[in-house]
Structure 1
Amino acid sequence: MMSWERTFEKWDSYQNLEPNLKQELKQLKADPVALEDAFYKELTFGTGGMRGVLGAGTNRMNVYTIRKAVSGLANYLLEHTVNVKDRGVVIAYDSRHMSKEFALETAKVLGAYGITAYVFSSLRPTPLLSFAVRYLGTVSGVMITASHNPPEYNGFKVYNEDGGQITPSQASEIITYINQVEDELSVPYLEQDELEEQELINWIKDEIDNAYLDKLQGISKWSADEMAKEKTMPIVFTPLHGTASQLVPKGLKQLNFTNVHVVKEQAIADPEFSTVASPNPEEHQAFTMAIEQGKQTNATILLATDPDADRLGVAVKNSAGDYQVLTGNQLGALMLDYLLAHSDKALLRTGRMIKTVVTSELGKAVADYYGIKTLNTLTGFKFIGEKIREFDSTGESFVFGYEESYGYLISSFARDKDAVQASMIACEMAYYWQQQGKTLLDALYELFARHGYYFENMQSITLKGKQGSEKIRLIMDYVRNEPLQKFGGLEVEQTEDYLAGTRKFKDGQVENIELPKENMVKYILERDCWICLRPSGTEPKIKCYFGVRGTSEADSKDKLATLQASMDKILQATIEV
């Protein structure tokens, strides 16, 4: 294996290196630590693709790391799928730096293998890419996006022929093919004019959008008469400089919402996301401008989608008249309750709700109330998409899927989390409760009164670079190997190690966890509480999730604070070693 120094020398001496990357290499020479970080490893291709900082080096997102990944993907597709060259691959991209360029590079490398590419002519949401794979019948899909990461990031996300994110087994095989590409600087590709001459590239305009909007209208629980009624409920929507600026307003118009206000400054596709500290609707600061406009319009509901429109955040007024951002767990439970309450009970007999293991247990309580079975998956919507595909042969039916990080899917015509779908149901639901004289917060507290006060939180620690990766490893080793008995005075009843695939009970019994392996540890505590730790798959972070169930809001908040303080001590002690 070539040392990182030799890899750098190879890049530095390559005569045809992209000029901007050549210039960056000159600057890196003056910073040995940054230079090593750019070359000490290859950018990780994980279970869904790769994501990283833009720049020069094998550990960065650039045209060469893209070409290498596409070359591996092309070889995998040619070996494992049928009619690859004719069926082709569909490619979409978001508003980030280099997104359109990376989309075109993907098509160029596919073209060198004789594989047709369908490329959107302008930016589109991730869920539309998922839908397009199914609509066009392609063998795969590629989405160029880094979701809600900071502006310096971009990513390469791969979808299988079902429209879902590639599964871990598929990713593992693709990685094998990628690793067979010996030199990322010499991957073959065609120029754009060659692609067009050979009809190996097709530019997509509005066809997929229109087909998607037709499907979108079908997720409503309203009758045709109810849908036709004009609804003047004020709505404020911000796409946070991303891809949802067209589809969400069009979808709301189909439902006859006529009082929709778009935050104009944030409807601009800005790769710097200049009006927000982070383009992530999980961060409450992302709602600042929407809240200002909400106050001016007396909006009932505020919607915020992340740049690739697969995550949705919602804010509604509280009793003090201020806008309160719902958590992903809360919005998911509300949508699930609304959908099940307005569904034909006969059709729900085989219904399944799917959530991740770090998502609130309130969702399971709601599903139980309506007689719906809950299935748990690992963190990541790819596992929810994989489970939906299994239903084709099991006779089970999908009714809803969600994860705590603001990802929801209402209908499986897309197979990834879909903020456009979620926006429609959130507004429909808000309108329904408004007609009952209630807000979404009123509806949420009714769920708490019925099922218990489920509260959750997540905290993350960012540990960048090579040293950060080592500290994350030490933390996971500690919580996995030390016999922890209590957290915040609450006894550990079960310890779930998803890397080992085992669940250990406090009496010593052990059983297998029937899920794929993942570097994650979850402690099930007494009194319906839990803690889970996992390294992020897309960012240099370790995440710690907390869930409690209390007898009141105050009781739940006290439990959360106690658990977090207990875990903080463990994390800080490990980091400082």
Structure 2
Amino acid sequence: MSWKEKWQKWKSYATLDKHLLERLINIAEDERELEDSFYKDLTFGTGGMRGILGPGTNRMNVYTVRKAVEGLSLYLEENVVDAKGKGVAIAYDSRYMSQAFAIEAARVLGAHGIRAYVFESLRPTPLLSFAVRHLKAAAGIMITASHNPPEYNGFKVYNEDGGQVPLKEAAAIIEKVNQVQDELKVNAEDQKKLEENGLLQWVGEEVDTAYLAQLKTIQKQENSENNLTIVFTPLHGTAYNLVMKGLDQIGFTNVHVVEEQAKPDPEFSTVSSPNPEEHQAFEMAIDLGKKVNADILIGTDPDADRLGIAVKDGNGSYQVLSGNQLGTLLLDYTLSHTDEIERENGKLVKTIVTTEMGKAVATHYGVDTIDTLTGFKFIGEKIKQFESTNDKFLFGYEESYGYLIGDFVRDKDAVQAAVAASKLANYWKKQDKTLLEALDILYKEHGFYLEGMKSLTLKGKDGAEQIAKIMQDIRNHPFETLGGLRVVAIEDYETSLRTVPADNSSEEIALPKENVMKFILENDVWVCFRPSGTEPKIKSYFGVKTTSKESSQTLLDHIQAEVEQRMDQILKDK
């Protein structure tokens, strides 16, 4: 069907949701908006789907959610033993329509006789991961768009291990979703009927309590003097209760909350982006931090799977650490407080775009490093594999502010990270050092690693074509030098080949195929390109290492400028 035929079908559907129908009427004269709403089906990818709220097959709404859950239900019936008895855990964040989508998911599952365990109020993503394992459910659904703008929502799927579904499972679920011919006609059972027959069960604080008990197990030192002053902002999301309880139960009581950002708010009205990767998200926390003389500021994104922190610099101001910096500090703290015997067969798991400084730190402690593709689902998948080997998971992280210490959760966990970062800061404070000073110690020991990321947003159908054009050009005409350094290896994850230009030799990359290009340069420098799987962006990642902070910054600036110039030229060329 053409987009116009799909539009007409929705517009004339007798029982179309009245709010969606209103919106369709309002945009009836905006052909560009209508086309973007209907020109394709909202992509159900390897981690689920994410999109703008509104009517249409390319939007997040009750019908596209029902279609996704219908496909998941069909998959579970065929592939998971006793899926109906085990049920599906469902959680949701503070966004528009999140609770409604959670209930719609339960209604579709119920139509298949599959029990749904739905949280009675909003919860963080890592708690959903934990809940799947705790309840021994067949799968999990998280309604969230993470740190996307307010007009977005999303749908993430977890398997019975509590991890985001790996590629093979995802492909099978996607196949089932794509078999659903008409999203408007998916059967959804009556909510009250499901509650009466036990197919919709509401979950209260019992899972929170079990999670908090596990949270105590990630401590890497005994409770002692906790004289740290903390400022915390949940950025209008889901983290408030668990973070506050988690800090309190290990003795951190001097915690000041940014009250204006403590309550859930789907508009995220006090920030331009509810993303702790963005420094502007910390503006109110910094103001409060100065008033109370805080040692550390911590901020979580709306679904509480990412954590950002800011720490004092030498001038009395606060500096936001990068995900690579915080991850490396947490890694060093974790390994230094882990007995040598426990470190045997231990593994650090990180992504291919995460700093190589982590590998240097892990090697220092005799711990091996495993690289995965970008996305925490691959780290969760590795943890599952370790259960059948002698390997032990010790720490996992990615540059985009995602960390995991205790494997009772199988996704990145900002609640764990908030507690661990507070312990970390408290440890260094006792030695009269800030985290910036602690970072300098690591730089002097392992080298001055510095990373950067540039994100180019190209929205809509035209944007998707431009992103494809950039990747094709980089693949067909690879860089030979960058920043005056020679490219010594090219890793194309779409073809799974690592090529050495000097002798044109190649070897296979033992990772799943993905549309990613990585260039390894001399002196431990690298650049990587990948389209985002959840946003209309192409991301460029950079990593350098030199003998000083200044020279690392200079080299990073030169390489980033060259890459930007190349991208601008690709977009200009017809």
Residue 488 of structure 1, CA deviation:
2.0
Which amino acid in the other structure matches residue 440 of structure 2? Y
Q: Distance in 2 between matches of 1:489 and 1:471?
A: 28
Contact 1:329 1:360 (C-alpha < 8 Å) held by counterparts: yes
Residue 483 of structure 1, CA deviation:
3.8
Residue 254 of structure 1, CA deviation:
0.8
Q: Distance in 1 between matches of 2:105 and 2:427?
A: 44
Query: 1:161: which partner in 2?
Result: 160
Q: Does 1:258 align with 2:253?
A: yes
Q: Distance in 2 between matches of 1:231 and 1:177?
A: 52
Equivalent residue runs for 1:389-400 within 5 Å: 389-400=384-395
Q: Distance in 1 between matches of 2:448 and 2:398?
A: 18
Query: 2:511: which partner in 1?
Result: 515
SS of the equivalent of 1:196 reads helix
Q: Does 1:541 align with 2:537?
A: yes
Query: 1:97: which partner in 2?
Result: 96
Residue 194 of structure 1, CA deviation:
1.1
Residue 232 of structure 1, CA deviation:
2.8
Q: Distance in 2 between matches of 1:458 and 1:26?
A: 41
1:472-512 Cα deviation digits (max 9, x unpaired): 00000011111421112111000000001000002211000
Which amino acid in the other structure matches residue 315 of structure 1? A
Q: Distance in 1 between matches of 2:38 and 2:189?
A: 27
Q: Distance in 1 between matches of 2:570 and 2:258?
A: 44
Contact 1:145 1:157 (C-alpha < 8 Å) held by counterparts: yes
Residue 231 of structure 1, CA deviation:
2.1
Query: 2:184: which partner in 1?
Result: 185
Deviates more, 1:479-488 or 1:424-433: 479-488
Query: 1:417: which partner in 2?
Result: 412
Contact 2:487 2:521 (C-alpha < 8 Å) held by counterparts: yes
2:572 to 542, 558, 576: 576
1:506-549 Cα deviation digits (max 9, x unpaired): 22110000000110000001111110000000000000000000
SS of the equivalent of 1:231 reads coil
Q: Distance in 2 between matches of 1:115 and 1:362?
A: 46
2:381 to 379, 386, 407: 386
CA RMSD of superposed structures (Å): 0.7
Q: Distance in 2 between matches of 1:484 and 1:430?
A: 41
SS of the equivalent of 1:202 reads strand
Equivalent residue runs for 1:71-470 within 5 Å: 71-223=70-222, 227=223, 229=224, 231-470=226-465
Q: Distance in 1 between matches of 2:253 and 2:125?
A: 26
- Say if 1:93 and 1:483 are closer, same or farther in 2 by CA, change over 3 A: closer
What TM-score comes out, normalization by structure 1 length? Answer: 0.99
Residue 29 of structure 1, CA deviation:
1.5
1:407-434 Cα deviation digits (max 9, x unpaired): 0000100000000000011000100000
Residue 230 of structure 1, CA deviation:
5.1
SS of the equivalent of 2:442 reads helix
SS of the equivalent of 2:417 reads helix
Q: Does 1:4 align with 2:3?
A: yes
Q: Does 1:62 align with 2:57?
A: no
Q: Distance in 2 between matches of 1:95 and 1:302?
A: 22
Q: Which ranges of structure 2 fall in alignment gaps of 5 or more residues?
A: none
Q: Distance in 2 between matches of 1:394 and 1:524?
A: 31
SS of the equivalent of 1:461 reads strand
Residue 151 of structure 1, CA deviation:
0.2
Residue 576 of structure 1, CA deviation:
1.6
1:188-246 Cα deviation digits (max 9, x unpaired): 011111111221011001000000000001100122xxx1x452311000000000010
Q: Distance in 2 between matches of 1:317 and 1:197?
A: 55
Q: Distance in 2 between matches of 1:174 and 1:295?
A: 49
Q: Distance in 1 between matches of 2:524 and 2:227?
A: 42
Residue 575 of structure 1, CA deviation:
1.3
Q: Distance in 1 between matches of 2:276 and 2:184?
A: 37
Q: Distance in 2 between matches of 1:475 and 1:382?
A: 26
Count of matched residue pairs: 572
Which amino acid in the other structure matches residue 550 of structure 1? T
Q: Distance in 2 between matches of 1:462 and 1:381?
A: 22
Query: 1:24: which partner in 2?
Result: 23
Q: Percent identity?
A: 60
What TM-score comes out, normalization by structure 2 length? Answer: 0.99
Q: Distance in 2 between matches of 1:533 and 1:484?
A: 12
| Structure 1 runs, 4 residues or longer, greater than 6 Å off | none
Residue 361 of structure 1, CA deviation:
0.3
